[in-house]
Amino acid sequence: MNDKDLRTQTTSGSQKSAARVGIGGPVGSGKTALIECLIPDLVSRGIEVAVVTNDLVTKEDAKRLQNSGLISPDRVLPVEAGACPHTIIREDPSLNIAAADNLNASFPELDVIFIESGGDNLASTFSLDLVDYWMFVIDTGAGDDIPRKKGPGIIRSDLLVVNKIDIGPYVGANVDLIKQEAVEVRNHRPTLLTDCKRKIGIDALVDQLIQDVLFTDV
Amino acid sequence: MQILSSILGYAADEPFDSALHDLSHSGKVEYLTISADDTSRRRMRAMTDKGTECVIVLNRDQQLSDGAVLSISDNGAIVVRLSQQKWLSLEAQNHAAALEVGYFIGNLHWKVEFEGERLKVALQGPLQTYLDRLELLIETGKIRALTEND
């Protein structure tokens, strides 16, 4: 056997591809706020970030991130769904794929591109043609029965984020119960708790992303 | 930790077929078993049947498939092996029931195949989860869930 002969059989040798990470979840669950927390944590670890935002008929989330001062505005691309948000992350993700390709071409140093879905319902899921990994964000304000409803977003996401744990006690939501039932219905796949106001759980979330999909530790 | 960043070729094709055959005699071929669902992933951690920890980081124009060779040298090779897809087969009582279950499953975005008059649902989670969703259709006799013995 000749090692060189075998290695020349490679089918592709194109440029580095940034990891693509989907962020889905209901309206108001805190997806954009979570990205605003993730960016500085990732940047502090030397990880290069860009974001594709999806809104129904506006560029609201993109403008918010572009004006945040957390990220260069040209690293944020808006995509308008114009219809049900899940159609452009699952059934036909071509608009989002094109946006991510554009970011990757413009910024070849990128390590990760977040693709934030427009707010949707518990049935929302990402196509793996679009992302390498996806998280689903729910919040305690929506009630502590959400995991028991076993929506595909809850069950099938690579990572479930239970956000706004700070407001749980004020709306009668048992955060410990949410975590316990989420772990059960997800068959012990990762579930993390976050509070974006106090930056609780953000480090652990970045650690999880590095472990599962960014691989900047190896 | 082994980083696997491209598909070098396929086990059934030359020169890989011969090279893998030779390596196998000295037990130097390791297999990474992945599910059919995970073939769409370009990035994942996995462990070979011999315990080698791997990180797969493919470019987006590549896709894992059965027999994909991810690493090969005189020291050994790592080859992808697909785990067998599990299915739930369903039979509808009549045409109306077939339409109803088809509509229902379409709404749930389940992956299906057709086999004669049977509808096969690819299981991407525990069987009971699927049976729970279909409970009403099964209880009313509109559809029948088949076991492997059927």
A40 pLDDT above the threshold of 80 = yes
Record: contact A218-B19, CB cut-off 8 A: no
Minimal C-alpha gap between B114 and chain A (Å)? 20
pTM of the full predicted structure?
Answer: 0.87
Q: Is B27 on the interface with A (CB under 8 A)?
A: no
C-beta atoms of B6 and A213 within 8 A:
no
User: 């308008």: which residue's tokens?
Assistant: A80
Question: Over 70: is that where the pLDDT of B70 sits?
Answer: yes
Q: In what order do the strands lie in the sheet with B87-92?
A: B112-115, B118-122, B87-92, B143-146
Identify residue B15 by its one-letter amino acid code.
P
* Contacting A residues, span 81-110, partner chain B, CB-CB under 8 Å: 90
ipTM comes to: 0.84
How does residue B37 score in pLDDT terms, banded at 50, 70 and 90?
Answer: confident
Task: Assess whether the region B2-82 and the region B87-146 belong to the same CATH fold.
Answer: no
> Is A15 within 8 Å of A79 (Cβ atoms)?
no
Alpha helix (H) ranges present in chain A?
A: 3-7, 31-44, 60-66, 94-106, 152-156, 175-185, 202-209
A71-82 pLDDT tens trace: 999 999 999 877
Q: What is the pLDDT of residues A41-57, one digit of tens each?
A: 999 999 999 999 998 77
B2 touches chain A (CB under 8 A): no
CB A32 within 8 A of CB A65: yes
Judge whether residue A22 has pLDDT over 90.
yes
CATH annotation of B2-82: 2.60.260.20
pLDDT of A13 above 90: no
pLDDT tens-digit map of A72-130: 999 999 998 777 888 888 888 999 999 999 999 999 999 999 999 988 888 889 999 99
Between CA A144 and CA A127 the distance in angstroms is 27
- Confidence tier at A10 by pLDDT (50, 70, 90): very low
Amino acid identity of residue B69, one-letter, is V
* Res. B148: pLDDT tops 80: no
A175 Cα to chain B: minimum distance (Å): 24
Asked if the C-beta of A215 comes within 8 angstroms of chain B's C-beta atoms, the answer is yes
Q: How far is CA A18 from CA A35, A113, A184, A211, B83, in A?
A: 17, 6, 32, 15, 28
Tokens 């049977």 belong to residue: B118
Given an 8 Å threshold on Cβ–Cβ distance, is B55 in contact with A218? yes
Specify whether the CB–CB gap between B10 and B62 falls below 8 A: no
CA distance A197 to chain B (A): 31
**The predicted structure's pLDDT at residue A1:** 52
Please report the pLDDT score of residue A6 as a whole number: 57
What CATH number does the domain located at B87-146 have? 3.30.70
A39 neighbors A49 (Cβ within 8 angstroms):
yes
Q: Mind telling me how many Å the CA of B40 is from chain A's nearest CA?
A: 6
For chain B, the residue count is 150
A 122-141: CB under 8 A from B? 123, 125, 127-129, 132-133
The whole-number average pLDDT for the span B106-134 is 90
Model pLDDT for residues A162-217, shown as the tens digit of each residue: 999 999 999 999 999 999 999 999 999 999 999 999 999 999 999 999 999 999 98
Can you give the residue ranges of every domain in chain B?
2-82, 87-146
Residue A14's pLDDT band (cuts 50, 70, 90): low
Q: Are A175 and A162 in contact (CB under 8 A)?
A: yes
* Separation of CA B79 from chain center: 15
Q: Does B42 touch chain A (CB under 8 A)?
A: yes
Nearest chain A Cα to B2, which residue?
A218
From A211, which residue of chain B is nearest by alpha-carbon distance? Answer: B45
pLDDT at B100: 96
What was the pLDDT predicted at A8?
A: 44
Of B43, B62, B74, the CB nearest to A133: B43
pLDDT given at position A91: 85
- Give residue B91's pLDDT: 96
A182: tokens are 């989420």
